[in-house]
A and B are shown apart, each in its own frame.
Chain A
Amino acid sequence: MRTPDRRWDLAPEVHRLVGDWARMPQPPDVAGLEEAIREAYRAAGLRPGPVIWCRTPGEYLAVLESPVAHARLLLAHRHPLVRLRRWRPIGIGAVGQIVVAMVLAVVLMVLALSTWIAATVLSYRLVLAVLGIGLGQSSPVESGVFLACLAGWLLVLWRALPSVISLARRAWTAVARRAWHAEVPWVGELRRPPLDLLPWRALREVAVALAPPVELGSSSSSPGQPSGQLAGQLAGQLAGQLAGQLAGQPPDHPLVVSARWQDGVRHVFVDSERVPELPAPGQVGRQAELFAREWVAQHLTLGAQAVDRHVVEQSVVRCYAELGADAPTLRWYPDPARYARALDEVRSGRSPWWVPTMDQQIRDVIRRGITPGGRPGPAEAQLAPVVMAADPLGRFLTRSFSPVATIGWRWRHAVRRGALAGLPDEPADRADRLLTALEQNAPVPWTARRGLAVLLEPPPEVHRGELVAGDGGTRLTTHSLAWPDGSWWHLIDGVRVPRPADSGDWTVAEIHQVVNSEARRVLIEVMGWERYLAEADLPLLAEAPDPANPPHTLRLFALPAAGWQDLNLLVMTNASPGLDGAVRLFAEFVPAGFDDPVAAVAWQYGVPVAVYRTLQRRT
């Protein structure tokens, strides 16, 4: 069975890091990075093995994602795990074979001649002893020679035999699998700050890294202009178009990078995102959706209250001042469509306030912190994490429904990595204080950019939902907002849905037509998983007894009808009755690929299935 845990999407990492390389004052120093990798191994108490440099991102990704490619690479680099070091098959052709046969014949003749001479001049017993044949040796000298030679021959066989065995493809893929599985505990544990600039993975006995491109060009005008030969060409071809839109651009304009790898293939990145061509302007609908979730999340925790624009503006300006940044221009927008359009313009580079994404900013700060001679100024070091934290989605995720969701992690870890790199810890404290102050004083959606704060006026008419207990936990009933442009927004749990939940029953077909998968999920929960399962008639993949929860079972369903190909649905029965005494079904998503529902639950808790099978009690 395919193990879903192993599905890594490494491409984004490679792209980000290539973008970072382009911003470095000098091209990455391969020898220095290799030493840093060895240092990381030593720091982890491991003996550093060889560093294998992959020539292209494709090779790097293939090596890490496929055991076979992995094994091939180990083989090519004579890794000790694969004992195919001396007996590699060589394509020598017909002439070569004749030559080899002649050489072998000559060698055999010389051997035979020398044996005959030795047997005549010395003794045949000694010859046998040298050949490792223990027949008739009588003197201690002959016995000693025999034993020493026998050991020598065994050593030769030991070296040669596994090589011959390893010629079988099956054998070396088995070896590779062993290496592949052995690698698990080390991933992530050997990260050290300088190596954050390098796509690499630490395996148990070998490190795999992506060699920098042979040619790196960038259109950046930020400090540390790279010396890539392509900068000029790119300025004309790609960045030139952006530059036209960005008349009077600030220093942080989009970074267009071109990298040529050792196989001659060229990749283009805009702000660390790999692009086939120039990025299209962002999707207004997507931004507006994010906004809506964020806004309702705020109202869930804060309650609707009248917003004093003056207080909000003061708070925002004070936050910038506290962080040593220049006071921003403040722009208010009356409805989400216009707010989203403004955000889109800011983010897609059509606004003079365009700055890189928050993630990129943090990486920049960290990179400067660890690049000799490039230490960040206080304002730069402090602004970047704050911008991250002030991002509506980031705040939504960190402060609302999902307190330690991914972006929250990224933010905290970025700060921690900043601390690792010797940056002061204050940005985190300040960002926390800033957020708290803003949530108290400025309960409006807003987005901070260097020199610009975009704010949305609250809707004039709000029909607040109520918190009600229901299937899948407590949830908010429909929250409806009316905007000055005449549009209405209906939201459940902060997710925009086509119509209010109480405007008539939802049908399975209607839910499946909803494009946004989060909204589909919310609507299924409103409908109730039990009813949904009864009506949707999902294909049952597997069923197994629920450990420590008899007589209930775990069921695994496929979800093609709902449009989730990569997910399966795990349906469980709560072991504890709810407050009303009823025992409820609940359903959660797991990656597709499990054929045993118990293995899917074990995946959920991050334990081996054998551990989960020993479950003694579930409440």
Chain B
Amino acid sequence: MVVAFSYAQALELVGTAVPGHLQADLEVPSLRGVQAQGDLLVFPIAEPDDVAWAPVPATGVQLIRSEATGNTHWLHQDQGSTGVQWAEPVRVPVFEDEEPDLRLAYVRVPEGQGGLLIHTEEHGVNGIGPGTYQVNRKREADPESVQRLLAD
């Protein structure tokens, strides 16, 4: 069993100090269920078809970056979890009158390991336990009648 990173250690992975108002030595709970981190939702799914899995590098994967604030949601390995994989969804054309594709990524965490979803600002760190997950982003109905995708 790997020793999970603390919040402070996890944030160091993305070169961010712990915001002053949050507790640095808090252990990040590693969960197998549904978790939300700001505008992202991680939820367990059955193994997806037709995706090309790639290892999550030690330097992490930038899942999405907010253009407005520069804040980023990163996917990282937990301590010693070199088996964590991720995949980009295969996209099909989506037009204005169709449902937007909210999928951002798939994540696969082997037994005994852990993944980390890290936000560079207030949303902190979420620990992802063993399993296969989908990461969706959030949308909002738009007053201009176009659905908007959100990135905090």
A→B interface (CB under 8 Å) = 4-5, 8-10, 12-13, 187-189, 191, 400-406, 409-410, 413, 416-417, 473-475, 517-518, 520-521, 548, 564, 566-567, 574-581, 588-591, 604-607, 611-612, 614-619
The CA-CA distance from A401 to B95 in the complex, in Å, is: 20
The CA-CA distance from A5 to B147 in the complex, in Å, is: 11
Residues of A within 8 A of B125 (CB): 619
CB within 8 Å for A577 and B34 given contacts A404-B149, A405-B146:
no
Considering only CB atoms, which chain B residue lies closest to A397 in the complex? B146
Is the pair A473, B143 in contact by a Cβ cutoff of 8 Å? no
Residues of B within 8 A of A615 (CB): 33-36
Considering only CB atoms, which chain A residue lies closest to B97 in the complex? A9
Residues of B within 8 A of A403 (CB): 67, 151
The CA-CA distance from A400 to B68 in the complex, in Å, is: 8
Residues of A within 8 A of B111 (CB): none
A548, A607, A617, A619: most-surrounded residue (chain B CB, <10 A): A619
Is the pair A189, B92 in contact by a Cβ cutoff of 8 Å? yes
CB distance from A231 to the nearest CB of B (A): 29
Is the pair B98, A188 in contact by a Cβ cutoff of 8 Å? yes
Residues of B within 8 A of A406 (CB): 96, 100, 146-147
Is the pair B69, A473 in contact by a Cβ cutoff of 8 Å? yes
The CA-CA distance from A380 to B75 in the complex, in Å, is: 41
The CA-CA distance from A474 to B68 in the complex, in Å, is: 7
Is the pair B93, A400 in contact by a Cβ cutoff of 8 Å? no
CB pairs A–B below 8 angstroms (12 shown) = A5-B99, A518-B144, A520-B143, A577-B122, A605-B139, A606-B136, A611-B34, A611-B43, A614-B33, A614-B34, A616-B34, A616-B35
Q: Which 7 A-B pairs have the closest CB atoms?
A: A517-B143, A606-B102, A616-B33, A413-B93, A605-B41, A581-B21, A618-B36
CB distance from B71 to the nearest CB of A (A): 9
B41 contacts which of A10, A589, A607 (Cβ < 8 Å)? A607
Is the pair A473, B68 in contact by a Cβ cutoff of 8 Å? yes
CB distance from B120 to the nearest CB of A (A): 12
Residues of B within 8 A of A564 (CB): 143
B148 contacts which of A5, A402, A607 (Cβ < 8 Å)? A402
The CA-CA distance from A167 to B50 in the complex, in Å, is: 43
Considering only CB atoms, which chain B residue lies closest to A416 in the complex? B93
CB within 8 Å for A405 and B149 given contacts A474-B69, A606-B102, A619-B123:
yes
**Size category of the binding interface on chain B:** 35 or more
Residues of B within 8 A of A605 (CB): 36, 41, 102, 136-139
Is the pair B136, A619 in contact by a Cβ cutoff of 8 Å? no
Considering only CB atoms, which chain A residue lies closest to B92 in the complex? A188
Is the pair A8, B97 in contact by a Cβ cutoff of 8 Å? yes
| Binary A-proximity of B85-124 (CB < 8 A = 1, otherwise 0) | 0000001111111111011000000000000000101111
CB distance from A577 to the nearest CB of B (A): 6
Residues of B within 8 A of A607 (CB): 34, 41, 43, 136
Residues of A within 8 A of B92 (CB): 188-189, 191
| Binary A-proximity of B7-51 (CB < 8 A = 1, otherwise 0) | 000000000000111100000010101111110010100000000
Considering only CB atoms, which chain A residue lies closest to B103 in the complex? A606
CB distance from A564 to the nearest CB of B (A): 6
The majority secondary structure among interface residues of chain A is mixed
B→A interface (CB under 8 Å) = 19-22, 29, 31, 33-38, 41, 43, 66-69, 91-100, 102-103, 119, 121-126, 136-152
- A-B contacts counted at CB < 8 A amount to 142
Is the pair B96, A410 in contact by a Cβ cutoff of 8 Å? yes
Residues of A within 8 A of B150 (CB): 588
B143 contacts which of A410, A474, A567, A576 (Cβ < 8 Å)? A567
CB distance from B8 to the nearest CB of A (A): 15
Considering only CB atoms, which chain A residue lies closest to B66 in the complex? A473
A617 contacts which of B94, B126, B136 (Cβ < 8 Å)? B126
Is the pair A401, B31 in contact by a Cβ cutoff of 8 Å? no
Is the pair B36, A473 in contact by a Cβ cutoff of 8 Å? no
Residues of A within 8 A of B152 (CB): 473
Residues of B within 8 A of A5 (CB): 99
The CA-CA distance from A123 to B93 in the complex, in Å, is: 71
Is the pair B141, A589 in contact by a Cβ cutoff of 8 Å? yes
CB distance from B75 to the nearest CB of A (A): 15
Is the pair B98, A619 in contact by a Cβ cutoff of 8 Å? no
B97 contacts which of A12, A475, A589 (Cβ < 8 Å)? A12
Q: A9-B97, A618-B35 are in contact. List 4 more A-B contacts (CB 8 A).
A: A413-B93, A474-B68, A589-B141, A605-B136
The CA-CA distance from A9 to B93 in the complex, in Å, is: 17
Is the pair B94, A409 in contact by a Cβ cutoff of 8 Å? yes
The CA-CA distance from A5 to B102 in the complex, in Å, is: 13
Is the pair B143, A10 in contact by a Cβ cutoff of 8 Å? no
Considering only CB atoms, which chain A residue lies closest to B151 in the complex? A403
Considering only CB atoms, which chain A residue lies closest to B37 in the complex? A619
B122 contacts which of A8, A188, A189, A578 (Cβ < 8 Å)? A578
Is the pair B98, A579 in contact by a Cβ cutoff of 8 Å? no
Considering only CB atoms, which chain A residue lies closest to B70 in the complex? A474
Is the pair A617, B138 in contact by a Cβ cutoff of 8 Å? no
Residues of B within 8 A of A618 (CB): 35-37
Considering only CB atoms, which chain B residue lies closest to A613 in the complex? B34
Is the pair B123, A576 in contact by a Cβ cutoff of 8 Å? yes
Is the pair B140, A590 in contact by a Cβ cutoff of 8 Å? yes
Considering only CB atoms, which chain A residue lies closest to B93 in the complex? A413
Residues of A within 8 A of B66 (CB): 473
A576 contacts which of B34, B96, B124 (Cβ < 8 Å)? B124
The CA-CA distance from A189 to B89 in the complex, in Å, is: 14
The CA-CA distance from A580 to B38 in the complex, in Å, is: 17
Is the pair B139, A606 in contact by a Cβ cutoff of 8 Å? yes
CB distance from B33 to the nearest CB of A (A): 4
CB within 8 Å for A589 and B93 given contacts A402-B148, A473-B68, A616-B34:
no
CB within 8 Å for A604 and B123 given contacts A13-B97, A406-B96, A615-B34:
no
Residues of B within 8 A of A576 (CB): 38, 122-124
Residues of A within 8 A of B138 (CB): 604-605
CB within 8 Å for A187 and B98 given contacts A473-B152, A611-B34:
yes
CB within 8 Å for A590 and B94 given contacts A404-B149, A619-B126:
no
The CA-CA distance from A567 to B145 in the complex, in Å, is: 9
The CA-CA distance from A591 to B142 in the complex, in Å, is: 9
Residues of B within 8 A of A548 (CB): 36
Considering only CB atoms, which chain B residue lies closest to A16 in the complex? B95
Residues of B within 8 A of A473 (CB): 66, 68-69, 152
CB within 8 Å for A617 and B67 given contacts A10-B97, A188-B98:
no
Considering only CB atoms, which chain B residue lies closest to A476 in the complex? B68
Is the pair B149, A402 in contact by a Cβ cutoff of 8 Å? yes
